Amino acid sequence: MNKNRPVNLDISTIKLPAAALVSILHRISGVVLFAVVALLLCMLDASLESEQGFADVAAAFDSIPAKLILWAALAALIYHLVAGVRHLLMDLGIGETLEGGRRGAVMVLVVAVVLILLAGVWIW
């Protein structure tokens, strides 16, 4: 056994490549979307129960915390969509090289940030 192996890796000191970061964020955005769907279905249920329920849900969307939650949900959706398109292109054989994967990952990050900021402007 090699005794020079690291025993405890400090994850915060490891510099991840862009493709790894995109992959991790894609998984996180999927989990966030799963949770947000439950929240939105509860709000849909409340809004369909009565006119008062609809008015309550509509009034809730006027608050700052609700707008932040909506923006976070849209951010997760946008990021997941953009990263998913990258995966579909890679399934078609586009961007499978090391350099293509790095460029595709950087493009995902840039496009997602721009679209998320535009969604934020649209919500406010």
Q: Which CATH class is domain 18-123?
A: mainly alpha
Residue 103: CB atoms within 10 Å: 14
Residue 26 is assigned to a ligand binding site: no
Candidates 124, 122, 123, 83; CA nearest to 104 is 83
* Burial tier of 13 (Cβ tally within 10 Å: 0-12, 13-18, 19+): exposed
* pLDDT at 33 (0 to 100): 97
* pLDDT at 103 (0 to 100): 97
* pLDDT at 86 (0 to 100): 97
Task: Give the whole-angstrom CA distance, residue 54 versus residue 49.
Answer: 8
* pLDDT at 6 (0 to 100): 65
Identity of the amino acid at 36: V
pTM: 0.85
- Evaluate whether 84 touches 26 at the Cβ level (below 8 Å): yes
In order along its 124 residues, the chain shows pLDDT tens digits of: 567 776 677 777 888 899 999 999 999 999 999 999 999 999 999 999 999 999 999 999 999 999 999 999 999 999 999 999 999 999 999 999 999 999 999 999 999 999 999 999 998 8
